[in-house]
A and B are shown apart, each in its own frame.
Chain A
Amino acid sequence: MSDVMESPRRILSQLEVLESEAIYIIREVVAEIERPALMFSGGKDSLVMLHLARKAFAPAAVPMAILHVDTGHNFPEVLDFRDKIVAQYSLNLVVGSVQDAIDRGTVKEEPNGTRNRTQTPVLLETAEKYGFNALLGGARRDEEKARAKERIFSFRDEFGQWDPKKQRPELWNLFNARVHVGESIRVFPLSNWTELDIWEYIAAEGIEVPSIYYAHEREVFERNGMLFAANEFCRPMAAEPTFVESVRYRTVGDATLTAAVRSQADTVEKVLDEVASTRITERGATRGDDRVSEAAMEDRKKEGYF
């Protein structure tokens, strides 16, 4: 007992607790599920998740495939960054392409040209093709009110659908990974992280993220109170004048739907300050897709979205 007295507290910081919890969850997936894959968009949350997966199995390689659902509506900086990371860590990258699926006729382009919803059938199709029965996602409960309700191991039926009224009880950290053939599990190791935790961790671990997360000058225009980049995916209408502004992205999604925020934060320290003092949620500030209705996210998740 004497040395227990020397350092009686032995308290971990919240980042250490969250890291340890996420590593435990990722290891649990690999131990219990035959063919898991890690969903990777090149965005900050998926980069943190990949970093945690590398830590979980070090010095061995990450023992699962990396799955990117490519909407074809990408920020070039993010796609380049994805390829760099894949090469750097010799990852096994699997791509499900929305464009290919549209060309093959397995999914239809949405009338408004956005590809957020078309991601879902492509995700399910790709998972089925490769036999992935567990998909690790970087979604966080603080992002959105339907996500706030989801289990860490989230059961999906044969159609990939989430039923919020029939979630399995999830006690302690004893996760139930059992599924029948055709069913699957989505696993969210970052469930308990907030946007601020993510940035504190990025800063503490020196994790590199795509340049669009830091302030830079960009030609933008205003729509629905949000700033969109003027580019091939998003063309301003006549009444939407463009201007150059110092902006950064808080999330990275379908480029036709993801807005930038005004920012001067060009270093990780400045981003941390900005995130700590912001009064608007990251999806509220930047996502056109959540503005469709109050329950837009819940409805998408019921269709199989992550």
Chain B
Amino acid sequence: MDLLRFATAGSVDDGKSTLIGRLLYDSKSIFTDQLEGVERASREMGSEYTELSLLTDGLRAEREQGITIDVAYRYFATPARKFIIADTPGHIQYTRNMVTGASTADLAIVLVDARKGLVEQSRRHAFLVSLLQVPHLVLAVNKMDLVGYSREVYENIRREFTEFAAKLQIADLTVIPVSALHGDNVVDRSENMPWYEGAALLNHLENVYIASDRNLVDGRFPVQHVIRPHSSQFHDYRGYAGKIAGGVMRTGDEVIVLPSGLPSRISSIETADGPVDEAFAPMSVTVRLEDDIDISRGDMICRPNNQPRITQDIDAMVAWMSDEPMRPGQKLALKHTTRNTRALVKSVQYELDVNTLHRNESCAELKLNSIGRVRLRTTTPLLTDEYRRNRETGGFVLIDEHTNNTVGAGMIVHA
């Protein structure tokens, strides 16, 4: 069975956690003891009905405040697929946690409250989803029960969102009217909205085609760890362990090791279960080469006729996640594939207004939760692809060298 990872997004209280609770409940994926716990907690809170959002809002502080603070991961399966859900917070203060949950998703569900329509936070999240290149987006127009299941309300939101989305890079957009609270169009198609002809959410999640989302073209193998057994049986063994980040690698392939540029050939691709003929993303394997060359963690094995860019000058979109703004002159630790280096912020070129997508070029720094274009200079070269071509070789994180906190998410643009 294959696996779909999806994340929720959208403004605070738009019903993300309730939707996940409803999805789990109606697909009979909730265990009786979990349900009893949630029923008990709902009663203690004085709620008239079972608050399905409590299935994911599991922290004390979340239950006290009635909001999601950090991502909750939930798991369920239907006969069609296995699912990993990341239920993310809508509050702007916790944008970093939304980004965490969305960064690994194949699909994002952006919720909008039908009564309120698109608000700034819906736009911010939709924009982040497109920036992170989550391949599939579902706009769920929620709380349809509170607008009398009105087709007109739905159509207006759909039109407004489609106009906004046209300015973003969204490959696949599906719009579904739902009531997370009552279950309309979540697992079962709604009888209250006969005018909606599309599939219910679960049906869409089961069928959305994700196999072509990976990059199977550009061979990229970042070396993670060198395996040297130091045993008499494997005296001369040397293997390069790592996870394929793009393309298909085969035994016998001519390769080039970067950044040294030394050529070689793959003598075998091994796993603990024996050799394999080919490997592709996201397989973890051990690659062995015909020649003994100097290779260490952070190097990349590629095909000679298809190489990443080798550069110390990085142009990128950055989502900034620290209270301290990002400023020119600042020095940060940077992690890209399996390579750790340091980076100097050369300039902040512009900040994006998430409502209008207007570029504010007069801003000199990036504040908490803002998104902008920056230029960095690294102390050692990175082996980069554009993020939109390959999430693995195009993404990096920035780390504050004093606090060790992760403070920025970077997506490389080849200028």
Contact = CB atoms under 8 A, between A and B. Distances in A.
B248 interface: yes
B75 A194 contact: yes
A187 B125 CA distance: 29
Contacts of A233: none
Nearest to B404: A178
A168 B97 CA distance: 8
Contacts of A4: 216, 248
A285 interface: yes
Contacts of A165: 61, 69-70
A129 interface: no
Interface in B5-59: 31-34, 37, 40-41, 56, 58-59
Contacts of A59: 227, 229, 231, 233-234, 237
A146 B1 contact: no
Nearest to A170: B100
Interface stretch (B144-152, B184-192, B350-358, B388-396): B388-396
Contacts of A223: none
Contact of B75 (A12, A192, A298): A192
A31 B97 CA distance: 26
Contacts, number: 181
B58 A284 contact: no
A174 B282 contact: no
Contacts of B126: none
Given A58-B272, A169-B100, A192-B84, A31 B31 contact: no
Nearest to B321: A169
A27 to B, nearest CB: 5
A64 to B, nearest CB: 12
A190 B393 CA distance: 24
Interface in B383-415: 391-392, 395-397, 399, 404-406, 409
B265 interface: no
B96 interface: yes
A294 interface: yes
A188 B75 CA distance: 16
A141 B280 contact: no
Interface in A147-177: 148-149, 151, 164-165, 167-174, 176
B335 interface: yes
A6 to B, nearest CB: 11
A173 B104 contact: yes
A187 to B, nearest CB: 15
Contacts of B75: 141-142, 192, 194
A56 interface: yes
Interface stretch (A18-26, A109-117, A131-139, A265-273): A18-26
A222 interface: no
Given A4-B248, A21-B282, A31-B224, A176 B3 contact: no
B138 interface: no
Contacts of A196: 77
A24 B61 CA distance: 33
A214 B245 CA distance: 40
B157 to A, nearest CB: 30
Contacts of B333: 178
Contact of A171 (B32, B82, B406): B406
B141 interface: no
Contacts of B84: 192
Nearest to B72: A148
Given A13-B1, A17-B282, A59-B237, A180 B404 contact: yes
Nearest to A166: B405
A61 B237 CA distance: 13
Interface string A259-293: 00000000000000000001111001100000000
Contacts of B243: 20, 23-24, 173
B61 A169 contact: no
A180 to B, nearest CB: 7
B228 A60 contact: yes
B271 interface: yes
Interface centre among A12, A23, A167, A174 (most CB of B within 10 A): A174
Contacts of B340: 32
Contact of B72 (A149, A191, A280): A149
Given A24-B243, A280-B33, A170 B406 contact: yes
Contacts of A31: 224-225, 297, 338
Contacts of B310: none
B283 interface: yes
Contacts of A14: 1-3, 82
B32 A279 contact: yes
A167 B73 CA distance: 15
Contact of B33 (A28, A30, A55, A284): A284
Contact of B59 (A30, A149, A168, A171): A149
Contacts of B229: 59-61
A149 B70 contact: yes
A104 interface: no
A171 B60 CA distance: 25
Contact of B272 (A28, A32, A55, A146): A55
Nearest to A285: B33
Interface centre among A10, A54, A172 (most CB of B within 10 A): A172
A298 B64 CA distance: 14
Nearest to A23: B284
Contact of A179 (B37, B224, B228, B404): B404
A295 B33 contact: no
Given A169-B406, A176-B399, A54 B72 contact: no
Contact of B31 (A146, A148, A170, A279): A279
8 contacts: A55-B271, A57-B225, A60-B227, A60-B231, A142-B75, A173-B104, A174-B335, A192-B75
Interface of B: 1-3, 31-34, 37, 40-41, 56, 58-61, 63, 69-75, 77, 82, 84, 96-97, 99-100, 103-104, 211, 216, 224-225, 227-231, 233-234, 237, 241-243, 248, 271-273, 280, 282-284, 286, 297, 321, 333, 335-336, 338, 340, 391-392, 395-397, 399, 404-406, 409
Given A164-B61, A168-B406, 10 more contacts: A20-B282, A23-B284, A27-B241, A28-B338, A32-B340, A167-B97, A169-B100, A169-B406, A172-B391, A284-B31
Closest 3 CB pairs of A and B: A145-B58, A284-B33, A55-B272
